[in-house]
Amino acid sequence: MSDSTTHVAIGGDITIGCTVNGEAVAVQVPVRTSLSDMLRAALGLTGTHLGCEHGVCGACTIIVDGAAVRSCLMLAAQAEGSDIRTIEGLAVDGRWHPVQTAMHDHHGFQCAFCAPGFMMTAVAMLEDDPNRSEQEIREELGGNLCRCTGYESIVDGVLAAVATLRGAS
Amino acid sequence: MTSPETHHTGTFDTATQGSGLGAFTGTSVKRVEDHRLLVGDGRYVADVVPPGCLHAAFVRSPFPHARLTGIDTSEATRLPGVVSVITGSDIEELTNPFLPFLALPGLYTPLYHSLSSERVRFVGDPVALVVASSRAVAEDAAELVDVTYEVLDGIGTIDRALDPESEPIWPRAKNNLLYDRTTDHGDVEGVFADADHVFTETFRCPRQSNQPMETRGILVEVDSVTGAVSVRAATQAPHMLRWQIAAYARKESGPQSIRSFLTNPERRGAFLAAAKAFVGDKGEALQSSDSTAMQHQLKTEPRTALQMVRTGAQLLGRDDYPHVDADDIGGGFGAKGSVAREEIAVAAAALAIGRSIQWIEDRMENLMDGGQAREEELTLSIACDADGTVRGLDVDLVLDQGAYPGNPVGAPITVRIMEVMQPGAYRFEAFRQRSRIVATNKGKYVAYRGPWANETWARERMINVVARRLGLSQTEIRRKNMYGDEDWPAAMLTGPALDVTCSVRKTLERAEELADLDRLDALRADAVSRGKRLGIGFASYHEAAPGPPDYFEHVNPGTSALLDQPATASVSVDGTIQIWTSQMPHGQSHETTYAQLAADQLGVAIEDIELVYGDTSRAPFDLLGTGGSRGGPVGGGAVRKVGRHLRSVVVAKAADMLEASVDDVTIERGNIHVAGVPARGLTYAEVAARVVADGETVDGRDGTYAFSVDDTYTSAGDGGWSVATHVCWVEVDVETGIVEIPRYLVVEDCGPIINPAIVDGQVRGGVAQGIGAVLYERAAYDEQANPQASTYMDYLIPTATEIPRIEVDHMETLSPGENDHRGVGEGGMIGAPAAITNAIEDAIGVTVNDQHLPPYRILELMGIIRPD
């Protein structure tokens, strides 16, 4: 079981400069820190959740430079200079993003542990192209697991957000 | 009586004020919880890390079954940042072993500790706990703990466990059969001899896992000055966790505990009063519990008696139990109703070191040790007449509980519920069940959403087998044999009373109407033209959510009192309203539904109700927390009862102030006034202020209140059954074996609905787990019990592309009683595996005996590929 040559803790800290929810930050973390741990532990942004820590469940999804990424699979060091958005930055001045409103209207979530990941995936998808069919939405959301809802309420929420965003544009 | 109309679609803006009784109940009020959970403001257990908190990681067995011959922690201890490494033998010094929670006649329950010291019994069995400055360092150090093992034969299947020569996992049990009992109802021999046909099939369900999206976790805080212990945890039952930590996480001297109890008159008095209150009118019921069960346990494991006395004395000897607080929880599905060995080990470590420790499980640990379920084999024989009248049912059940018993809810109680519910809503004349529980070297069996669901699966499969053999349709045979309104009052052969709420046949008839059965042939032909086979499957069940008043006495005599549900309602001195529940929400939206029930009773708005739960220093006591589809009927019943009670005392005071008769006082939109004279009304704050001025405040749960009332919804409440019929359509691709679900329909009857959108969500979520069980998920082990699914690459949870839209149709049969909301948490999962497998059998025309049907298995069944 023991193999001291490969399991020595990796020492040394690194300072990461990036933008998180519109604010420039400089965070000192151990070199091996994942981006999700940096957000949660160093910045206190605990809205980003860790469900599997191996890149399958999607609960930790955030938006980095406009793209939905799994923050458990990205090192903090890789985020140097990037623009990061998390669930905490979705509402503006207390006004919910249309995706949040739509999820509320459609009883999107239950335990809601997966909710931040789903909503960040949905936001990135709709910012990329708001004209999405139900099948496209289901495929885009296919990288996020929910154990409570059977997905119908989440899909309905995203469809409603599509309608809202279309109306607004 | 019934109003079989369709969906409720109304939504209600939570900002709208209540306007008297019944304004919110029955409408899809939007979720109160969303205001924090949709903005990332939830507080799940991993989100709270106090300054200076240490972190834990477990060293776990890589072998299914082995003797532990040595453990060397020196290298791990030397790693910078490591505070302590605690081994199994340390834990035996520090803690008490777990005790049996429920005893069944003939059942052996082992005594074991939170870490293993001499023998490991499954891959993932914890043998040491590392406490360090960070989780990463703790995990590094865990890999430096050098454990040596002498490998034993791993028992990975039910067949191997039933072999009397198999290596005993619990040596005191002599072999791996831990329970074997047969019960008869009616003249089984006579009915089977007399019937025209007897059909027999064996059904196998592989291991599944609950898999909530949030893993398990606990934070144990120790106050460095006072030593007070405070716990945060992802638990469905905070009071249960509190008691178990008090009982197990430290070991105290028995004589000293007893002295401490006897010399403290306050504690003695409090205990006697509590015992008297608990036994009260339940004395007779408690005495009816079976003492032969404990006799067998003591014979097999004599240490049980001493440990029970020691642990009992320890619980009596002090009153500084830890305080447990559970906040937001990321799902449980039964898994977090267990108290984990890890939770006790972390609490023991925190107490021993005197510092706060957090443990957050990772997904691999969760897949190995976070709770598994449902692995059962059932052989069913049905005796029936040529016309399709079913007469006798004979069942042989074997349940694979894995290595360690569920704590507290696991295999034994599941077996009892399976036995009681096995005949379903069919008019059998005789029923026999042999039930066995075996130990294997796998993760522990826990309650998983509708824990007894395989009684429904096997019975509904077998009913279809009988129908096919006799040339009857699936619906014909069910209609012919099910209880209906002409039968009441009736009782199941196993005891529980059946009444109008057992409306299973009505849901079947309604499902037939909605299923467009006249289009079925056209659908089949269309599927064939596309290289597919279409099939349809029906399945019907009734579940005790909460069940008739006598239900649990038939499951486990003498323990109904455990199911009582307390609630408190109060008005603060400033006029704010609190509802206090012992329920522990973890996705079911209690804050919304209970606010609906209470707001309607009290004539106020949803946001005027504060729900207090989860914090053991504040929430009312009950051991079981949330589970068993009890949140709506039982927890909700208690809220309605206590809300009505609070209204009556508030109205009485207001009537005094208004110089009116209580009968004339009404409450609308928070305005307490004489009916017809709203302009001269009082607010709750004004009434509360008068109570204060008049010196009439009362001591409530958490201080001084203007009003505070307590009520209990007892197991002898109004009760009733929650029922449904599921219909599934499948298309099987004959080349790939892939199964698609073009349509899925649920007709359910849970009585009057509190919040239709929430009920729909519960039903659909349950069906999705059923689809996962049949088509994707399997907690697979090999013959030697090596796990084959320890990541989400292997344990496949269905996604939005696999789960179809699910139609939900509601019937709302009223019960004869007053509190007639009934539960829906589990039903989706109970009906779905049966409906899906029945549909697949209908599509491929081959008898389906397995619950898990991935594409390769479909192709094997169709004879396209050969089984290996």
| pLDDT tens-digit map of B705-752 | 999 999 998 866 678 999 999 999 999 999 999 999 999 999 999 999
Report whether pLDDT(B493) > 90: yes
CA distances (Å), origin B350, targets B45, B230, B380: 17, 10, 50
Region of poorest pLDDT, from B9-23, B160-174, B473-487, B827-841: B9-23
Task: Give B-chain residues touching A119 at CB under 8 angstroms.
Answer: 38
Q: Which of A128-137, B309-318, B501-510 has the lowest mean pLDDT?
A: B309-318
Asked if residue B333 and residue B420 are part of one domain, the reply reads: no
Integer CA distances (angstroms), B292 to B297, B368, B416, B558, in order:
9, 35, 16, 14
What mean pLDDT is predicted for residues B310-314?
Answer: 91
Report the distance separating Cα B591 and Cα A149, nearest Å: 18
Q: What residues have CB less than 8 Å from B544, skipping those under 6 apart? A: B417, B421, B496, B551, B552, B721, B722
Q: Work out how many domains chain B is built from and give that number.
A: 3
Does pLDDT of B282 surpass 60?
A: no
> Do B722 and B704 sit in the same domain of this protein?
no
Q: Rounded to 5 degrees, what angle do the CA atoms B116, B120, B125 make?
A: 70
> What is the residue-averaged pLDDT of chain B?
93
Contact B34 A103 (CB under 8 A): yes
Q: What is the pLDDT of residue B738?
A: 98
Whether the pLDDT of residue A69 is over 90: the answer is: yes
Q: Which of B306, B327, B360 finishes a domain?
A: B360
Judge whether residue A8 has pLDDT over 50.
Answer: no
Q: Contacts of residue B331 in chain A, CB cutoff 8 Å?
A: 110-111, 113, 147-148
DSSP per-residue string spanning B282-296 = GHHHHHTS-HHHHHH
Identify the residue with better confidence: B427 or B820. Answer: B427
Q: Which CATH architecture has domain A98-168?
A: Orthogonal Bundle (1.10)
* B614 and B755 share one domain: no
Identify the residue with better confidence: B83 or B867: B83
Q: What is the pLDDT of residue B279?
A: 62
Q: Answer yes or no: do B297 and B393 share one domain.
A: no
Instruction: Tell which of B301, B334, B360 closes a domain.
Output: B360
Task: Answer yes or no: is B377 within a domain.
Answer: yes
Residue B573: inside a domain: yes
Residue of B nearest to A137 (CA): B800
Confidence of residue A2 (pLDDT cuts 50, 70, 90): very low
Euclidean distance between CA atoms B402 and B112, whole angstroms: 14
Given this model, what pLDDT does residue B285 score?
Answer: 54
Query: Least CB-CB distance to B806: which of A88, A103, A152?
Result: A152
- DSSP assignment letter at B635: I
Residue A10 has a pLDDT of 54
Same domain (yes/no): B708, B812 = no
Percent of all residues in chain B with a pLDDT value above 70, rounded to a whole number: 95
> Given this model, what pLDDT does residue B719 score?
80
The whole domain housing B96 covers 46-152+216-360
Q: How many CB pairs under 8 A join A and B?
A: 195
Task: Report pLDDT digits (tens) over B119-160.
Answer: 999 999 999 999 999 999 999 999 999 999 999 999 999 999
Mean pLDDT computed over B500-516: 97
What is the mean predicted confidence (pLDDT) over B840-864? 97
**CA dist B374 → A24, B341, B410 (Å):** 51, 21, 10
Can you tell me the mean pLDDT for B31-50? Answer: 97
**Contacts of residue A76 in chain B, CB cutoff 8 Å?**
none
Which of B 212-251 lie inside 8 A of A, CB atoms?
212-215
pLDDT digits (tens, 9 = 90+) for B246-269: 999 999 888 888 888 888 888 778
8 Å CB contact of A54 and B792: yes
**Closest-approach residue (CA) in chain B for A91:** B39
Q: Does B660 share its domain with B539?
A: no
**Any domain includes B166:** no
Over residues B575-630, the pLDDT tens digits come to 999 999 999 999 999 999 999 999 999 999 999 999 999 999 999 998 889 988 88
Does B562 score more than 90 pLDDT? no
- Which residues between 357 and 396 in chain B have a beta carbon less than 8 angstroms from any beta carbon of chain A? 362-363
Q: Are A152 and B803 an interchain contact pair (Cβ–Cβ within 8 Å)?
A: yes
Asked if residue B415 and residue B346 are part of one domain, the reply reads no
ipTM (interface predicted TM): 0.95
Average pLDDT over residues B515-531: 97
**Is there a single domain that holds both residue B758 and residue B647?**
no
**Per residue in B755-766, pLDDT tens?**
999 999 999 999
Q: Do the two domains A13-89 and A98-168 of this chain adopt the same fold?
A: no
B371-427 pLDDT, tens digit each: 999 999 999 999 999 999 999 999 999 999 999 999 988 999 999 999 999 999 999
CATH number, residue B799: 3.30.365.10
Contact of A78 with A84, CB cutoff 8 Å? no
pLDDT at B327 over 80: yes
Residue of chain A minimizing CA distance to B49: A41
**Nearest residue of chain B to residue A136 (CA atoms):** B801
- In a mutational test of the B interface, the residue from A106, A147, A154 whose CB has the highest number of chain B CBs within 10 Å is A147
Q: Are residues B379 and B327 in the same domain?
A: no
Does B205 have pLDDT greater than 90?
yes
Residue B3 domain-assigned (yes or no)? no
Looking at every residue in chain A, the average pLDDT score rounds to: 93
Average pLDDT over residues B678-690: 97
Among residues B446, B444, B420, the alpha carbon closest in space to that of B433 is found at B420
Asked if the Cβ–Cβ distance from B62 to A1 is below 8 Å, we say: yes
Question: Alpha-carbon dihedral of residues B765, B362, B112, B231, nearest 10 degrees?
Answer: -80
Among B713, B747, B775, the domain boundary falls at B713
Rounded Cα–Cα distance for residues A82 and A20 (Å): 9
Domain assignment of residue B196, yes or no: no
**CB-CB: which of A8, A116, A145 is closest to B799?**
A145
For residues B165 and B155, the answer to whether their CB atoms sit within 8 Å is no
Q: Which two tokens stand for residue A113?
A: 């542990």
User: Per the CB < 8 Å rule, is A49 touching B214?
Assistant: yes
Question: Comparing C-alpha atoms, which of B720, B723, B831, B191 is closest to residue B488?
Answer: B720
User: Quick one: pLDDT at residue B717?
Assistant: 63
pLDDT in tens, B187-201: 999 999 999 999 999
Contacts of B72 in chain A (CB under 8 A): 2
Same domain membership, residue B437 and residue B316? no
pLDDT tens for each residue of B212-225: 999 999 999 999 88
For B185, the enclosing helix (H) or strand (E) is strand B177-185
Residue of chain A whose Cα is closest to the Cα of B38: A100
- Would you call B794 an interface residue with chain A, using a CB distance cutoff of 8 Å? no
pLDDT over 80 (residue B16): no
Is residue B199 situated within a structural domain? no
Q: Which CATH number fits domain A13-89: 3.30.465.10, 3.40.50.720, 3.90.1150.10, 3.10.20.30?
A: 3.10.20.30
Mean pLDDT to the nearest integer, B168-195: 97
Identity of the amino acid at B290: D
For residues B252 and B182, what is the distance between their CA atoms, to the nearest angstrom?
Answer: 41
The whole-angstrom distance between A81's CA and the closest CA on chain B is: 24
Q: Give the residue-averaged pLDDT of B430-451.
A: 97
pLDDT at B232 > cutoff 70? yes
The answer to whether residues B148 and B252 belong to one domain is yes
Same domain, yes or no: B381 and B506: yes
Give pLDDT, residue B318.
Answer: 83
Cα B443 to Cα B61, B334, B436, B523, B772: the distances in Å are: 12, 15, 18, 43, 20
Comparing B306 with A60, the larger pLDDT belongs to A60
**B685-688 CB contacts, 8 Å cutoff, 24+ apart:** B685/B574, B685/B575, B686/B575, B686/B657, B687/B571, B687/B575, B687/B650, B687/B653, B687/B654, B687/B657, B688/B571, B688/B572, B688/B573, B688/B574, B688/B575
What are the structural domain ranges in chain A?
13-89, 98-168
Classify residue B794 by its DSSP letter. Answer: T
